[in-house]
Each structure stands twice: as C-alpha cells, then as structure tokens.
Amino acid sequence: MRTAVDVLVIESKLFLRERAAVFFTLLFPLFLLFLFGAIWGDSPDFYGMLVPMLSAIVTFSGALYSVGLVLAYYREAGILKRISLTPLRPRNYIYGMIAHRFLVVAMQSLLLLAIPVLFLGLNIRGNIFTLLAFLSLGTLSLLSVGGVVAGLSPNITVANAVAKVIFVPLMFLSGAFIPITMYPELLQDIAQINPIHHYIKGLQAIILEGHGLTDERGRVALLLSLLVACFIVSRKTILYFEER
C-alpha cells in the first residue's frame, strides 16, 4: 500500500499545481450554495437540506467523470498495461488515484458544510463523528460506481455515454433537484432504491434530526453493499485484465 500512498501524494501535488482546477473545484459548489441560498435560504435549516444535495451532485459527478472516464481512458490508451510492466502495480495506482479523488470530494463537501455552520447559523444536531463516518461511506460508495463504469466500458466513448445515461436519471430520482414526493408513485418507489437518495436523506437526518448510525442502519447497509459490489465488479473487470 506504500506505493498507493505515493500515488496519492503525487496526484495531490499535481492537482494543487493547477490553480484554475483548484479554484473551480472548490469554489463552484460554493457558488451554487450562495445562489440557492439567496433565492430560497430563509432559515439556517434550509442549508441543512441543501448541503447534502450539493454534496451528492459533486460526489457523483466526480465518480463518473473524474474516476470513470479517466480510468476508461487509461485502459483504452494502454496506460494501465504499461504501468503493469513497472514495479508499480495497476491496482496501487488506481487505489491512489481514487484516494486522491476521495480527498478532493470530501474537501468540497466539508467546505460546503463549514460555511453555513460558521456564517449562516446552521446547527448540526447530530454527532460530528457520525456525520463524518456517513459522509465518508457515502462518498466512497458513490465513487466506486465510477470504477464499474470504466470496467464495463470498452472505450472512453462508451464510458462517456454510459455516464450521461446514469447521471441524469439517478440525480433526478435522488431528490437533489426536485423533491421525490412530487413524482408519480412509481418513480417514488424507484427512488427508494437509489443510493444517491439515501446518501442525501441520511446526511439530512444526521444534520437536522440528530440521527445516529443505528437510526440510519438501513441506509448504511445499502451504501456499504453498493461499495462492496462495485469493488468486486471493478476488480474483476479492470484489475484482472490489466494485471494478468
């Protein structure tokens, strides 16, 4: 795992050198926070509803486009195959890259949460460690979907198409854009198996209602199952063919 840590450090340094990327990665979600807050933010608890929605958007978009499409390109271009000829194993490179993406997305989510808490009067009613644990699990689970997209797509063109097909329906059925109670009953039932919906609702329940992990054990089990399933599929489809 030492080499995976090295990859994490290198990826982080490369990211920090791109000042434009750092600026837009961290500040664009804040722009959305202030924009929606200026329109509808009539109480501090509004931000307790909004922050999980924005966190889901940046996390899932990062999963598909910063993980899924990048890994698909690396496979198509033969980069992972060339890495397998060096002392660095492809799995360690992928683990390091995903760890870097996890830190970036977690930083976005924590920044989105910190601004309302420090300046807009939002009170987190749940335990902070419970919040961080659920946020970490949800982030890893959603990021793991990107590995499945890359593993099952023969090239980056297909991966891009799959990402678009997945992103729009799942986000609209998550409650991030429109409350699912406004949808027909059939779509509401489908939304109940959408992991993004449970990620949002779990964070909202911890922030606004003070729930613990035991209160949200159903959502925890669903996100954990997604993480394990996606890890197995990604390992079989990406790592198996690159390391054999």
pLDDT at 240 over 80: no
Can you tell me the mean pLDDT for 185-203? 91
164 alpha-carbon distance from chain centroid: 15
pLDDT at 243 over 70: no
For the chain, the farthest-separated pair of C-alpha atoms sits apart, in whole angstroms, at 58
Residue found by looking up tokens 């949002």 in the block: 200
pLDDT at 221 over 90: yes
Rounded to whole angstroms, how far apart are CA atoms 171 and 222?
17
Binned at pLDDT 50, 70 and 90, residue 43 comes out as confident
The percentage of residues in the chain with a pLDDT greater than 90, rounded to a whole number, is 46
* pLDDT for the residue numbered 239: 66
Can you tell me the mean pLDDT for 35-55? 89
Most confident listed range (35-49, 118-132, 170-184, 225-239): 118-132
* pLDDT for the residue numbered 220: 96
Cite the DSSP H helix spans in the chain: 2-17, 19-40, 44-61, 69-76, 79-83, 90-119, 128-152, 156-172, 185-191, 195-209, 217-234, 240-243
pTM given for the model:
0.90
Over residues 76-99, the pLDDT tens digits come to: 888 888 887 788 788 888 888 889
For residues 91 and 239, the answer to whether their CB atoms sit within 8 Å is: yes
For residue 183, give both structure tokens: 């949808």
* pLDDT for the residue numbered 129: 95
* pLDDT for the residue numbered 12: 86
Classify the phi-psi angles of 236: left when phi > 0, otherwise alpha if psi is within -120 to 50, otherwise beta. alpha
